[in-house]
Amino acid sequence: MSAAPTPSVDDPLAQSFVAFAVEAGVLRFGEFKTKAGRLSPYFFNAGLFDDGAKLGRLAGFYAERLMASGLRFDMIFGPAYKGITLAAAVSIELARRGHNVPFAYNRKEAKDHGEGGTLVGAPVQGRVLIIDDVISAGTSVRESIQMIEAAGATPCGVSIALDRQEKAAEGGVDSPQSAVQQVQQRYGLPVVAVAGLADLLAFLEGAPELAAHRPAVLAYRERYGV
């Protein structure tokens, strides 16, 4: 299965999303330490899409990108924890647009009473789309694939909000591939991102009030970008 391309810098949807993320305070600039131990000049925290209006608008970006991608899927799977809210919100938005699909998610710990197990929601079957905020190390995707396949279903793709487009760190060593590229190669799954680092740089170029941050972001891409 071919990989879905990262949005181009002249993509209006990607530019609108970056502007929205900045406006919502979800995308911030400064100096932030990443999981890989790098000092990043920007930070994307999807947990700050924390009210109905912001979450609804975020779901609209996912839905529009997914519908334009042509990716076929029968249901959505949201890995705990951020993926749970995203799966629910995006399924609501897709239904509003005439594409009603079921969704499911997992618990971190198996429940030993009631319905039991680790999976909640619709039966996991058919072609399953995994939805999350970003792909950092690919751990969440790998675990999601294992759960989906164990249920007898087929993972068919991954949808994320932001592709950082930077080298993955493995054992303290920079990989020549990004985490998104690794997922595409290892599992043969397309990754549909609403926006990427290139879109962020294009946005900064056209935002005078944020232009001072662009050199640091550009330098970061030159050092860690793929």
**Catalytic amino acids?**
111, 113
β-strand 173-178 against 27-33: which pairing, if any? Answer: unpaired
β-strand 173-178 against 154-163: which pairing, if any? Answer: unpaired
Say if residue 203 is exposed, middle or buried (CB neighbours under 10 Å; 0-12, 13-18, 19+).
Answer: buried
How many angstroms separate the CA atoms of 145 and 135, rounded? Answer: 14
> Partners of 162 in the beta sheet?
195
Per-residue tokens: 23: 């406006």
How many angstroms separate the CA atoms of 28 and 44, rounded? Answer: 7
Say if residue 98 is exposed, middle or buried (CB neighbours under 10 Å; 0-12, 13-18, 19+).
Answer: exposed
Q: What helix, strand, coil percent values describe the chain, rounded to 5?
A: 40, 30, 30
Q: Is 81 helix (H, G, I), strand (E, B) or coil?
A: coil
